[in-house]
Amino acid sequence: MPKRKERMAGYIRESDPNLADSTTIESQAKLVRNYGGEEGYIYEPQHEFKEAISAYMIPYTQRPKLLAMLRAAERHEFDVLVVSEVRAISRRQVEVLILYDMLQKWGIRLETVKEKFADPARRQALACKLYSTDCQ
């Protein structure tokens, strides 16, 4: 029996609200879409969550599209969340780890266009990569 194709969501964030309709955010969205296509994921338009909002100044609890994505994840509408880079989720290490844990709890994998974080033991490596800290 053939394996079921996995469903993907994409979270695309640009930090400057003035770039909401820019080529910058669209190129990031295209990168995520292309990655999903290469991996053979099903990517439906309602699962593309784009917003132009600071992840440094605005906590994740106040970012509408991120919260919509989390609600969809909790409802198991998709299997994998793809971002261009981890910093798209948050610029705060603690928030990245909280969001990663939430996704893991719901059985959602996190992938960037360059790396997959399927193993929960990778949390520390994820934080080290994001913040370039000494993690030895």
pLDDT above 90 (res 104): yes
**What is the pLDDT at residue 108?**
96
- Please state, in angstroms and rounded to a whole number, the distance separating the CA atoms of residues 86 and 54: 14
Residue bearing the bigger pLDDT, 136 or 10: 10
59-92 per-position pLDDT tens digit: 999 999 999 999 999 999 999 999 998 889 988 8
- Please state, in angstroms and rounded to a whole number, the distance separating the CA atoms of residues 2 and 87: 35
Whether residue 136 is contained in a domain is answered as: no
What CATH number should be reported for the domain holding residue 34?
Answer: 3.40.50.1390
pLDDT above 90 (res 117): no
Q: Reduce the DSSP state of residue 114 to 3 states and report it.
A: coil
Residue 51: pLDDT band (50, 70, 90) is: very high
Whether residue 1 is contained in a domain is answered as: no
Whether residue 74 is contained in a domain is answered as: yes
